[in-house]
Amino acid sequence: MMYLVLSILISSLLFVIFKLFDVFKINTLQAIVVNYIIAFSFGIFTSDISMAVAEVPKQPWFIGAFCLGILFISIFNVMGITAQKNGLSVASVAGKMSVVIPIIFGIIVYNESVGIVKVVGILLALVAVYLSSAKNDNSPVKFKNLLFPLLLFVGSGVLDTALKYVETNSVSETNVPLFLATIFGCAFVLGSILIVIQIVRGKLKFQWKNVLGGIALGIPNYYSMEFLLKAFKTDIESSTLFTINNVGIVILTTVFALLFFQEKLIKKNWVGISLAVISIILVTFGS
C-alpha cells in the first residue's frame, strides 16, 4: 500500500509541474527531453543488474520498452499541453478516465465478461471527459477545448494497457529499474531528434530554465513509475489498485488546482469530476 500511496502523490505532482511550466514560460518539449535523460540516469544508477549495452536489445521486454518510450514522450507532451490549456483538473480527469481502455482491451482481446455495470461505467467516463472540459455552463463544449483531453484520454489508456501487459509478461522485479531506464532512454532519443529538427528549422531557443524544469520533472517522473510498477508486484488486486490509484490522482490533483492555482470550476466541471470518480469505481469493480 505504501508504494501505491507514493505513486498517487508523485503522479499528482507531475500535473502541478506541468502547470508551473506554463506559469514560468518553460518550453515543454525541451524540458521533457531533459526529463527523460534524468529519469534514464536514475534507472541506470538504481539498477542492481550489470548488463552491457549490447545485451539490452536482446531482453524479452526491449521491443515493448522501445514502443513505450515513443508513447511516453508523446503522451507527456499532450499531458503538458492539456494541463496548460484546459487546467489541472481536466488533465487529471482525461488521463485517469483512460482506465476504461484497458478494460475494453480485456473484453475484446481476452473475451472477458461484460456486464451492465461495466458498460455504464465506460459511458460515464466518456461523459466525464466531456463535462470536465467545458468552459461555460450555458454552451456546448467546443472541439478545440475537447481535442487535447481526448488525445490524453486515448493515449494514456493505450499506455497503461501496454505498460501492464509488458510488465506482467516480460519484466521481473529485479529488472524494473533497467526496464524503466530503457523506456526513458528511448523517449530521450526520440525527443532529441525532435529537438534537432527544431534546431535545423531555427526554432530552438535554448534557456537554462528549460533544463531546470526538465530536472524538476525527471526525478518525480521516474519514481512515479517505479512505485507504480512495485505496487503491481504486491498482493493488491489489479482492479483495486487501479481504482485507488486513479481516483486518488483525480481527487488530489483537483485539490492542488483549487488550492495553489485558484482554478475556477464551473458546474459542468464539478459534475464531470464526480462522474469520473463514479465511473472508475463502476468500471473497475464491474470487471
pLDDT at position 139: 63
Condensed to tens digits (0 to 9), the pLDDT of residues 87-142 reads 887 888 888 777 778 777 767 776 766 778 878 877 887 788 778 767 676 666 66
Indicate the domain borders of the chain.
Answer: 2-285
Question: Distance between CA 196 and CA 204 in Å, rounded?
Answer: 9
Tell me the C-alpha to C-alpha distance, in Å, between residue 164 and each of 107, 245, 271.
16, 14, 30
**DSSP 8-state class, residue 58:** G
Instruction: Please give the full DSSP string across 173-228, using - where no structure is assigned.
Output: GGGHHHHHHHHHHHHHHHHHHHHHHHHHTT-----HHHHHHHHHHHHHHHHHHHHH
Which distant-in-sequence residues (6+ apart) come within 8 Å of 175 by Cβ? 49, 59, 61
pLDDT band with cut points at 50, 70 and 90 for residue 209? very high
pLDDT band with cut points at 50, 70 and 90 for residue 215? very high
For 48, the grid coordinates are 542492481
3-state secondary structure of 247: helix
